[in-house]
Structure 1
Amino acid sequence: MKIRKLFTAAALITGTLLSAQSAFAGDKIRIATEGAYAPFNMVDASGNLIGFDVDIANALCAQMKADCEIVAQDWDGIIPGLRAKKYDAIIASMSITEERLRVVDFSDKYYSNLLAFVTADGSNIETTKEGLKGKTVGAQRATIAGQYLEDNLGDVVNVKLYDTQDNAYLDLKSGRLDALLSDKLPAYDWLETDEGKGFAFTGEAIDIKDQIGIAVRKGDDLKGKFSEAIKAIVADGTYEKINAKYFPFSIY
């Protein structure tokens, strides 16, 4: 599955590089998530942040005995906000990439991701480069899926990028997309809903060795503290319980 997401170089280098500072000052940790990436992070009818990422964040904070606040932040500004010290960590299904590692540190992974194509039932689209030639294929902007499309298929398909995953789903449903390339886990969740009826995974999943971690500022000791807490909740069964709430298979 953010999983998953790849920022452009321009977004990553925005702002002045700030010196690292431990987020444990005052025993308060502010954690950012997107709030628009079901089932990992979303907003319920009461305006509360919920989802797998949020549950993992709360479990890690309990394990560390830390006082945490989880806040919503639009995806495009989520790394600049971390570097500007608006919050201390990002738990938002963010893929660990070489580009991001130049400007932030990451904890150990807390789940793994594949990419997959989604098409309408009966479309008979082959998700090979030749089979997709001339098709319109969508993905969320500034994500691993979007970057994969541009790098590997941009010379043969019409690539459409969206500010949110939900907007990509809307265009797929309306017929403005022939196919959607997505992190597999959020797409799996969407296909299980009424909104996803009439659509299905097509072709083989794309294994890009994607691991999802917690981003913190360069040099912040939260990196090690979160990594140790991840190991602890995996070992004591807390992670398994959260996983089972969202998926009938392990995503670790």
Structure 2
Amino acid sequence: MKNVLTGLFLAASCSLAGLSAAAADPLKVGISAEPYPPFTVPDASGNWTGWEVDLAKAVCAEAKLDCVITPVAWDGIIPALQSGKIDMIVSSMSVTDERKKVIDFSDPYYRTNSAVIGLKDEKIEVTPEGLAGKVIGAQVGTRHLRYAQAHFETAGATVREYQTQDEANSDLAAGRIDAVEADEVAMRAFVASDAGKDCCDFKGVVADDPDILGIGSAIGVRKTDTELRDKLSAAIHAIRDNGTYQEFSKKYFDFDIYGR
């Protein structure tokens, strides 16, 4: 009996040790592996920087969570969350009814308009009629692609899908397409950059469609992780209240991104 009890004790101890080791593993913060300045940008050493990287670090610190940035291809980022390869998504993911069917979200941490940029020598009105006959680029798996297909393609535009935002921007700069639809903040950053300032300019924001564009960007979590979701939401509000959010945001924006 003593040997049996000893064996049970050792087995239980090993199980508890395993649980402790698992609990010590950092939470994997999934970001898009495709650069998306000024939100997520890899430096020359492959380390990720940018506004959302700073946000993730601030939220994890406030919630007392050990986190590690984990790049994942954008078109596979939700499956990566569902399968446990990552534990949360911090990648300008808009909260939409379609996404809420498969994952859960924290409270939003920013909202930006969906905007259109185009070649400087082309006059473009950001309406279905104004974009009829134009070729519009948008990144796969984004609200911007869905919007362009629903509102512009149906009115006579051609919508071209791109795996990364950089590819869409490069084709626009080369004159292979007429316009690009994406987040306003990212598009304003591109037209102000060396790559975009000579070729392209800001054409305007699209008319709102909450069913497609959502209510803002939030942290995505698995539906079973309600405790984590609530911790993240509380941390978002806390860093807004204590000024941390505004402090790191000043490095990137001259306006309050939270309320746009």
TM over 0.5: yes
Letter in 1 for 2:143: I
For the 8 Å contact 1:114–1:206, the answer to whether it is kept is: no
Alignment of 1:81-230 (within 5 A): 81-155=80-154, 156-198=156-198, 199-209=200-210, 210-220=215-225, 221-230=227-236
For the 8 Å contact 1:27–1:66, the answer to whether it is kept is: no
Letter in 1 for 2:245: Y
Distance 2:205 2:233 in 1: 32
Q: Which runs of 5+ in 1 are unaligned?
A: 1-23
Structure 1 residues 88 and 204, CA, compared in 2 at 3 Å: closer, same or farther? Answer: closer
Partner of 1:55: helix, strand, or coil?
A: helix
Which of 224, 239, 243 is residue 245 of structure 2 equivalent to?
239
With normalisation by structure 2, the TM-score equals 0.84
Point out the more displaced range, 236-245 or 198-207: 198-207
Letter in 2 for 1:81: A
Of Structure 1 and Structure 2, the greater helix share is in 2
Partner of 1:227: helix, strand, or coil?
A: helix
For the 8 Å contact 2:114–2:205, the answer to whether it is kept is: no
Q: What CA RMSD, in Å, does the superposition of the two structures yield over aligned residues?
A: 1.5
For the 8 Å contact 2:126–2:206, the answer to whether it is kept is: no
Greater Rg over alpha carbons, structure: 2
Aligned to 1:63: 62
Counting aligned pairs with the same residue, the percent is 43
Aligned to 1:16: none
| Deviation digits for residues 118-162 of structure 1 (CA, Å, limit 9, x no counterpart) | 011131122222222111111111111100011111121111010
Letter in 2 for 1:189: A
Q: Which runs of 5+ in 2 are unaligned?
A: 1-21
For the 8 Å contact 1:116–1:183, the answer to whether it is kept is: yes
Partner of 2:113: helix, strand, or coil?
A: strand
Aligned to 1:6: none
Letter in 1 for 2:115: A
Structure 1 residues 204 and 88, CA, compared in 2 at 3 Å: closer, same or farther? Answer: closer
With normalisation by structure 1, the TM-score equals 0.87
Aligned to 1:13: none
Partner of 1:70: helix, strand, or coil?
A: strand
| Deviation digits for residues 73-101 of structure 1 (CA, Å, limit 9, x no counterpart) | 00011010111011211111101111111
Of structures 1 and 2, the one scoring higher in RCO (CA 8 A, sep 6+) is 1
Distance 1:215 1:65 in 2: 18
Letter in 1 for 2:29: I
Point out the more displaced range, 183-192 or 104-113: 183-192
For the 8 Å contact 1:29–1:67, the answer to whether it is kept is: yes
